[in-house]
């Protein structure tokens, strides 16, 4: 097999498997590290040396046995997930050795692919890690959730929960670009400083120290709330709904406050508010917009180039640290996009 960068390659492929299905908050022992031979691509396949893995909240749902919008992650198989890396060998007509590619390559150092769902990442546009963040799936989620579902108008008050994460930080900045007053909710003083300082959110609060959510939101949103980009759900969302203005729009993007609960949580009854304030509440999944990625990605890149869309990354080092990076992200230890750096092949 012809390999362009053989001298930098490890001898084996470190992979992380799902070892057990968690109850409640996942544990390091729910994952197992194994080493296997580096696979050889056959006709129609490419071999990718992974540069960065993405760890994402949706992976928690896939660790359960129940099907949601995707099948459960299989036990004893490589954890699925997005990654960006370099084509080390190609027997595929659309991909050449040396190109950077993004795809669902999983938690491992080397991945074989048949090219399905694989996109190219251009290091001239931005560092390749951004293809897993602001210029990748989280950025697209923010773009479509905000512009298509929330449909903000200049002057609207937009509230974003999970505001210092990969999706939320992007959604808030897109709302600012569209002339909105943006209020963010996040879980640390550093996060609040970042989103109100560098990112230009108009106001924000730390939900871990300020527990009177309704009162705080009322203070920060004196004209009520027109759009809510919901990444977290739970008690925060109950409080936001009470302040929604007539004809307000709510994008249900994520419900991370509920992902690790052992028992279902019952909250406020919100449907009467949806009725009397004629709210539009819509769940969405980013891949429903796949046919429009070609519109969104150049726009996100343009905003980034003009300094209007900033990002941060929290980067763990090494395949073996993917589980701790994932658990840390679920605990809120990341600012911006949580990645795992694998190699610089």
Per CB under 6 A, residues contacting ligand NAP are 56-58, 138, 141, 162, 164-168, 186-188, 191, 231-232, 253-254, 256-257, 284-286, 329-330, 332, 334, 338
- For residue 68, the minimal CB distance to ligand NAP (Å) is 11
Kind plus residue range of the DSSP H or E element containing 315: strand 313-317
Token digits for 253?
């993007």
Nearest Cα neighbor of 336 from 226, 186, 150 is: 186
219 φψ region: left (φ > 0), alpha (ψ -120 to 50), beta (else)? alpha
Residue 335: phi and psi, rounded to 5, are -115, 125
Q: How many Cβ atoms are within 10 Å of 266's Cβ, its own excluded?
A: 6
In whole angstroms, the minimum distance from the beta carbon of 179 to ligand NAP comes to 23
Inter-CA distances, 232 with 37, 151, 253, 331, Å? 40, 20, 8, 13
Q: Quick check: 250 and 244 in contact, CB under 8 A? A: yes
- CA dihedral 9→10→11→14, nearest 10 degrees, is -130
């Amino acid at each position: 097999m012809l390999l362009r960068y053989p001298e930098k390659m490890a001898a084996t492929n470190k992979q992380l498997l799902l070892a057990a299905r968690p109850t409640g908050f996942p544990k390091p022992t729910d994952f197992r590290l194994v080493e296997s031979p580096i696979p050889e691509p056959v006709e129609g396949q490419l071999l990718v040396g992974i540069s960065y893995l993405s760890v994402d909240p949706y992976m928690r749902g896939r660790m359960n046995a129940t099907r949601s919008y995707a099948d459960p992650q299989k036990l004893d198989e490589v954890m699925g997930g997005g990654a960006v890396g370099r084509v080390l060998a190609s027997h595929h007509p659309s991909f050449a050795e040396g190109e950077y590619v993004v795809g669902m390559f999983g938690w491992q150092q080397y991945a074989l692919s048949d090219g399905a769902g694989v996109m190219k990442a251009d290091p001239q546009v931005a560092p390749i890690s951004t293809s897993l963040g602001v210029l990748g799936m989280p950025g697209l989620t923010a773009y479509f959730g905000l512009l298509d579902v929330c449909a903000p108008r200049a002057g609207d008050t937009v509230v974003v929960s999970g505001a210092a994460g990969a999706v939320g930080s992007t959604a808030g900045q897109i709302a600012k670009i569209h002339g909105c007053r943006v209020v963010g909710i996040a879980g640390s003083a550093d996060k609040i400083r970042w989103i109100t300082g560098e990112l230009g959110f108009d106001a924000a609060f730390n939900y871990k120290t300020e527990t009177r959510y309704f009162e705080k939101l009322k203070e920060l949103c004196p004209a009520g709330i027109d759009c809510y980009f919901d990444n977290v759900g739970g008690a925060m969302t109950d409080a936001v709904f009470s302040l929604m203005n007539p004809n307000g729009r709510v994008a249900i993007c994520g419900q991370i406050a509920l992902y690790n609960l052992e028992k279902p949580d019952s909250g406020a009854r919100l449907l009467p508010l949806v009725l009397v304030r004629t709210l539009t509440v819509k769940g969405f999944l980013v891949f429903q917009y796949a046919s429009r990625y070609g519109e969104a990605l150049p726009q996100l890149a343009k905003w980034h180039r003009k300094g209007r869309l900033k990002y941060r990354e929290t980067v763990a080092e090494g395949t073996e640290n993917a589980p701790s990076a994932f658990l840390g992200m679920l605990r809120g230890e990341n600012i911006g996009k949580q990645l795992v750096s694998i190699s610089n092949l």
